[in-house]
A = this chain, B = another copy of it.
Amino acid sequence: MVVDTFATDKARQVPRARASPRTPRGGPISTPPALPPLRFGVNYTPRRGWFHSWYDFDAGHAREDLAQIAGLGLDHVRVFHLWPLLQPNRTLVRTAAVDQLAHLVDLAAEAGLDVLVDGVQGHLSSFDFYPEWTRGGHHRNVFTDPEAIEAQAVLLRTLGRALAGRPNLIGLQLGNELDNLVEGNPVTAAEVDHYLATLLAAAAEGLGAAGGLVTHSAYDAAWYGDDHPFTPEACARKGDLTTVHPWVFSANCARRYGPRSPQVHHLAEYGTELATAYAEDPARPVWVQETGAPEPHIPAADAPEFARATLLNAAGCTNLWGVTWWCSHDVDRGLADYPELEYTLGLFDSAGRAKPIAGALADTVAALRSGPRPAPPRETALVLDCTPGTRSVSGPGGAYFEAWMRLRTEGARPAVVLAERAGDGEYLAERGITELVRLP
């Protein structure tokens, strides 16, 4: 391993003085900083009929699933409706579908669960749910067509208004991994920025004074995909916090390093630190909103330990908001055509039985809740010097990723700092960083 420390390079050396204490969001300055409790939840995949269950929404079935989830000691769910059902015509948002979604949020409240609602799906487990008014002879680029953007804004405002004021509502997200739609909807980074800004404003307007988080999400290509139009900056600077979906299959991470490798066990932690580096606000929260144990990338026997390690390691990130596991229930094998891994991602199987990973997750959550956050500031940072066209260096297989993991396994707890901020002493001090390490 070749890392180049700058401890003796005066021009680059960072004063070793303690950084000024971070300011908790909205709270008073205190020493040491009082970190908010972590949130732990699950992405809710209905056991009976998967998301097709929205066609025949059954409150009893939802109640049963949510009770199982709450039984693990989790505090929230992330929920997904289907775009074609919500907005089958560009100018028609179905009241009945919006009401179902609100009903589900209320059922979660009954179970003691908070809820993040994803608006525009969009992409779910390899299937693309687009309304017919965006397809075929009616094709519209969902990111750039002004009327398509306005329609999505109307949908988000409508959802926001319908959900606003529910005490268990965490917030409204634009939709699941919108960057999965890029292939059929070519878009530039500037157009993505405009799209995200417009829809985030619409969601916030819908929620109104009652508030709630307004967020967006992307799959790993935004972080690791050279020239991908969704950028790390858009992820880390738009919306009320940064969401990351550090999947072990991205860039073949688990295949490359092995299912029990440090690279896999520290992947969520790394994704959180990487996201922190791209934020303008050093204290911006990062939500590990999707992580999971897909077979065969993570063999079933390794899944409990993977869950445990993922949570414990991520909990060591000062900015971590929480972790939301993917997913609650296995896809039933009676439903065809899913990628093999989607059938095995649940904490519960398709008959509703808890799998070993569910126990591991519940135990780890309980342990993390019982003590203080193991998240002191990271004094050493590895400098990331890449462009939108070379960002794959920071993904699995990339030189930066591997250097960071080497530092980590050698006992350091490295932060990530962008090269453009490496000379900004005030910024580094705010993050508590006292030592910079660079790749040769």
Contacts and interface: CB of A to CB of B under 8 A. Distances in A.
B335 A91 contact: yes
Nearest to A333: B91
A334 B336 CA distance: 37
Interface residues of A, number: 31
Contacts of A337: 89-90, 133, 138
A137 B126 contact: yes
Contacts of A132: 127-129
Interface string A94-133: 1011000000000000000000000000000011111011
Interface stretch (A49-57, A314-322, A343-351, A418-426): A49-57
Nearest to A126: B137
Contacts of A94: 52, 55-56
A363 B335 CA distance: 51
Q: Select the residue from A91, A130, A136 with max chain B CB neighbours within 10 A.
A: A136
A124 to B, nearest CB: 9
Number of this chain's copies in the complex = 2
A91 B13 CA distance: 62
A186 interface: no
B88 A336 contact: no
Nearest to A51: B88
A49 B138 CA distance: 19
Interface string A140-159: 00000000000000000000
A85 interface: yes
A369 interface: no
Contacts of A353: none
A184 interface: yes
A135 B128 CA distance: 8
A172 B96 CA distance: 30
Contact of A127 (B50, B56, B136, B184): B136
B92 A335 contact: yes
A52 B85 CA distance: 9
Interface string A24-53: 000000000000000000000000011010
A336 B127 CA distance: 25
A126 B335 CA distance: 30
Nearest to A138: B337
A292 interface: no
A353 to B, nearest CB: 22
Interface of A: 49-50, 52, 55-56, 84-85, 88-92, 94, 96-97, 126-130, 132-133, 135-138, 184, 334-337
Given A84-B84, A91-B335, A92-B334, 20 more contacts: A49-B92, A50-B89, A52-B92, A55-B85, A55-B88, A55-B97, A56-B94, A56-B96, A89-B336, A91-B334, A92-B335, A126-B137, A126-B138, A127-B132, A127-B136, A128-B132, A128-B136, A128-B137, A130-B135, A133-B337
